[in-house]
Amino acid sequence: MSSLLLISFLFVFVFLLIRISKSRNPNKLPPSPPSLPLIGHLHLLSGLPHRALLRLSRLHGPFLLLRLPQPTLLLSSAAAARRLFASHDIAFSSRPFSSTAAKLTYNSRNVSFSPYGDYWHHARKITVSRLLAPSRVAAFRSVRSDEVAALLGRICAAAGGGEPINLSEELFAYANRVVSISAAGKREGMAEEFREMMAEELAILSGFHLEEAYPALGKILGKLSGRDGKVEAIARKWDGFISTILEEHEEKARKKEKQSEEEDFVDVLLAIRRDLTAEIQLSEDDVKSILLDIIAAATVTTYVTIEWTMAELIRSPRIMKKVQNEIAEIGAGKVTIAEDDTNQANYLKAVIKEALRLHPPGPLLLPRESTTNVSFQGYEIPARTQLIINAWAIGRDPETWEEAEEFKPERFVGSPIDFRGNDFEFIPFGVGRRMCPGIQYAMATIELALANLLHHFSWALPDGMGVEDFDMEEAAGLTTTKKIPLHLVAIPQSNSL
């Protein structure tokens, strides 16, 4: 009898041990590559992050849990992203805290970096309905037209001697002036000042930093590396830049000097701030953060997309000729391509989409963070897990795209696939609640510039350089520009200015 009781006790004990071990079984977490103590998987991220993460996905699968050292879910396929967002968009709609981003964006009080909640909802509502709505995009049509004309004029002047021009520099100036004038009105010298600060900020935000990975040691590491000092210096420059813009607008409002001018983004934000009946009262820092977010995001997205599109075209003479023929037909008898004309430029739109597929402005989008525990595909994903979506890898996935590494705009001609968040194989602007709200604004600015650059000029590589010598290496950063600026020879056409 005693032996029977002992066997029964052992049976129950083993059963309970199995149940407990199953409840703690790490296999319930998503698959994960071997890691090292303390640093987790950080040692595997050498080189450009989006390329390093693609290597990991090819070795271990498109759905991985990494320790960076914060638990980080990596999605590198359209299928995995589609399944996750079908049921867990809200759960992954927040942002992980970044001390660097907080310092540079007034404690993350903007649409891009603020955590999911009431304030983010309100800031996004203001941005979408009052600043980036179709009516507002249309209101700044004359700004885009004027700045395209100025861009063409600068290129004409530089093209006279037949020497290569730094097209990257000209494209940045164009994008920044369009955005800056729309946001803050005309202000001389803004583009040059902004470019310097933007380059510094993108460099400091890029990649994985030990200071962010180990918050407990962040202050010590930040001081030892000198990174804290750099971040604070950039933050002071931004604050001086934005504060001056706000002061100028407040002074004009007091003097009632703006009545005859087009209302810009700053005017709208200041009016909302003065509205005591608003859902949430905006502080001065809120206004600064939202304004900075719009100017920075719109400038970089626009400039980078045009730069990579021109880079791909110069490497593809057949495609360059085909798109220029389309523009020539649309622009027959016209000095300049107008915004309405671009609606007919279907092949140009396909060219831009193909450039965005291969070169999304933010290859890893912006990281997200889960606010609750999530059950997904039989795995348990804890709250506070960071989510990284490798949009760059998804756009080049051979499981989805034929000849995935080739620049072939024809794949988008007549295709219903678009970049507005419904087609997970093509997400250069993100998906779900946290996708970019400024797509329409950016595309209007991109299409008009490209149509006119291709209408007014033929483009060639500098003497002695062949397509095989043309460098397409990416620069490190939160946004991937060309590492070597785009230098091309512009040859004015007979319809040139």
Q: What is the pLDDT of residues 256-271, one digit of tens each?
A: 765 556 788 899 899 9
54-85 per-position pLDDT tens digit: 999 999 999 999 998 889 999 999 999 999 99
pLDDT at 20 over 90: no
From residue 92, alpha-carbon distances to 73, 85, 131, 303, 374 in Å are 11, 8, 26, 29, 9
**Terminal Cα-to-Cα distance of the chain (whole angstroms):** 105
Q: Report the pLDDT value the prediction gives residue 207, as an integer from 0 to 100.
A: 61
CA angle 189, 191, 197 (to 5 degrees): 105
341-374 per-position pLDDT tens digit: 999 999 999 999 999 999 999 999 999 999 999 9
The amino acid at residue 486 is: L
Beta carbons within 10 angstroms of residue 275's beta carbon: 11
23-38 per-position pLDDT tens digit: 444 559 999 999 999 8
Cis check for the bond before 360: say yes or no (omega within 30 of 0): no
Domains of the chain: 28-492 (1.10.630.10)
169-206 per-position pLDDT tens digit: 999 999 999 988 888 886 666 667 777 787 788 777 76
pLDDT at 287 over 50: yes
Q: Report the pLDDT value the prediction gives residue 12, as an integer from 0 to 100.
A: 41
Q: What is the pLDDT confidence band of residue 11, given thresholds at 50, 70 and 90?
A: very low
pLDDT (mean) for 409-425: 96
Q: Report the pLDDT value the prediction gives residue 422, as an integer from 0 to 100.
A: 93
CA-nearest of 492, 428, 421, 481 to 459 is 492
